[in-house]
Amino acid sequence: MKIHYRGAEIRYSAHVYEPSEDTFLLAEAALSEVSRNDHVLEMGCGCGLVSALLRDRCASVLAADLNPHAAACARANGVDSVICDLFSGLKGRFDLIIFNPPYLPTGEHERLGGWLDMAIDGGSDGLAVIGRFISDVRDHLTPGGRLLFLVSTLADTGRVVHALETQGFEVSMVAGERYMFEQLIVLKSAVRT
């Protein structure tokens, strides 16, 4: 399967999250934020659409996903990728870290079974993976590094902002779109100086 977005042809498979409104919103925010000298990490890369759009606009980009099908898709789309559970096994620091986490509050009866659960299942409150990410992200940012990640109002965005601020980040909203039952928000965070 494939989609076309901003002149790029992006392939994905049945076991990988299909790029959707959240992907495109984050991609546009990342394109506005990235600079030529940035070393970028896209966490939870899915098929690698965001990384593929950024690879010629920055110094380097690395895509990471726990789903081996996603990492393979990103590689097929011309992006360096690794399989890892968040930062586990990753070395180095990045100027820009981008993340479209699994943010949907998900009950046991709502799980699909299989690899796609990893892309959407945010636990009972939608914050299970986001909380783990926030607790470790600072150790992987360069001084002056930035973070862009997507949240949904279906989860408690106030708790997300508070968790980031507790870790020493300044937080601002850089993009958002309202849909029938939720608002998707891209947060930009930088370590408070």
Rounded CA-CA distance 43/173 in Å is 19
Q: What is the DSSP letter of 66?
A: S
Mean residue pLDDT of the chain comes to 91
Angle at 171 between CA 46 and CA 101, to 5 degrees: 20
Strand 183-191 to 169-178 pairing: antiparallel
98 pLDDT tier (thresholds 50, 70, 90) = very high
**Residue located via tokens 């690395």:** 62
Asked if residue 175 has pLDDT above 90, the reply is yes
Number of domains in the chain: 1
Six-digit token pair at 62?
Answer: 């690395």
Structural domain span for residue 124 = 2-191
pTM: 0.92
Has residue 47 got a pLDDT over 60? yes
How many Cα neighbours within 13 Å face the side chain of 31? 12
Cβ contact 125:155 at 8 Å: yes
Q: What is the domain-level CATH number for residue 142?
A: 3.40.50.150
Distances in whole angstroms, Cα of residue 108 to Cα of each of 105, 111, 123, 140: 10, 6, 9, 32
